[in-house]
Amino acid sequence: MKATERSGRLGVGIVGAGKVGPILGAALAGAGHAIVGISAISAESRDRAGAILPGVPIIDVPQLIERSELVILAVPENELLALVEGLAAAGAWQQGQLVLHTVAGLGTGVLAAAMAQGVIPLAVHPAMRFTGTSIDLARLSESYFAVTAPTPVQPIGQALVLEMGGEPVIIAEDDRAAYAEAIQVASTFSSAIVDQATGILGRINVASPGSLLAGLVRSSVEIALARATTPGAVEPGLTVFGTGPGSEGAVGAGPQGAEAPGAEAQGVTLHSSDSHPAGSTGEIPAEDTNDSDGAKEETSR
C-alpha cells in the first residue's frame, strides 16, 4: 500500500461506479483524500465515473485493492459477500486496510473473510436517495449516515462521515436489519403515495399534478418528521385536530383551516440532534442502495 503524501489522508479505492460510489469518492476527495482508482464495467458507469471523478483511473479490482488504504465496496447486497470472500481467497486484503461497505441491511459481519486477513471493517450507509450526479454532493450535507463498526474503530467511521459532510449515527450490528426496514418503508411509502395521488389528479385532467401536490407533500413530511424527532411537537401556526382516541389525526391550518384528509404519514427518525434540521433525513429505496456494477463482473476482470 502506498502512503499518501498528506498526514492523515488516505488513498481511497472505490469498487463500483453506480450512483453511490463515485459520489462518496468525490466527497472524500473534497476533504483531501486521494482517490487512487475506481472499478467500472458498463459504459454508463464509466461515463459516470469520468464525470464525477475526472482524471481518476479506472482499474481492475485486485489492483485497486493493492493500491488502497481505504476500500469502499459500493456494490449490491446480494453480491457483497461473494466479492469479499473471492478477494479473500485470492489473498488480496491487506493488514490494517480500512474496508467500508454501503449496504443498509448488513453490518460488519459480511466482511468476516476480509477481517480474518487483518482489515478494519466499517459498514456505512448514507440515508439518502442518490441520482448519481453532482447534485448528490450538496445533499450529503443534509443526510445522516448509519455507522456500524467495532467500538474501537467507530470514531474512524464517524470521522469519514463528517468529512463527507454528513451526520453519523451509530447503529448496532444486530439492528442493521431493522434500520434497513425503516429506510425501505420510508422510501417506498412516500414514493407510492405520491404516485397514487398524482395519478388520481392526472385522471381528472389536472395539469402538473406533481407541482400541485409539492407543497402539501413537503410540508406533511416535514411535520411528520418533526413530530418524530420531538414527540408532541407541532409546527407553529398549525393545529392538530382530533388527537384523542378514534380521531383521524388530521393537521389543519388552524380552527378555520381545511383539514388534510386521508391516512397519517409515518415518520422515521434516524437520529435526534438539535444541530441537524428537522426533515433533512434523506431516503433511499432498495434499488438505489448501491452501485449498479455487479461484483461477479468485477471479480472476473
pLDDT tens sequence across 71-81: 999 999 999 99
Residue 248 pLDDT: 36
Average pLDDT over residues 237-266: 34
Q: How confident is the model at residue 287 (pLDDT cuts 50, 70, 90)?
A: very low
Q: How confident is the model at residue 231 (pLDDT cuts 50, 70, 90)?
A: low
Q: Would you say residue 270 has pLDDT above 90?
A: no
Residue 223 pLDDT: 87
Q: Where are the domains of the chain?
A: 11-173+287-299
pTM over 0.75: no
- The string of pLDDT tens digits covering residues 178-228 is 999 999 998 888 888 899 999 999 999 999 999 999 898 888 888 888 888
Residue 285 pLDDT: 34
Average pLDDT over residues 20-47: 96
Among the residues of the chain, which ranges form H helices?
21-30, 43-52, 61-67, 77-89, 112-115, 135-140, 154-163, 176-203, 209-229, 295-299
Question: How many CB atoms are closer than 10 A to CB 91?
Answer: 9
- The string of pLDDT tens digits covering residues 44-73 is 999 999 999 999 999 999 999 999 999 999
* 286 or 215, which is more confident: 215
- The string of pLDDT tens digits covering residues 108-133 is 999 999 999 999 999 999 999 999 99
Q: Which residue has the cell 449496504?
A: 103
Angle between helices 43-52 and 21-30 (to 10 degrees): 20
Residue 274 pLDDT: 37
Residue 225 pLDDT: 82
CATH number of 11-173+287-299: 3.40.50.720
C-alpha cell at position 72: 469502499
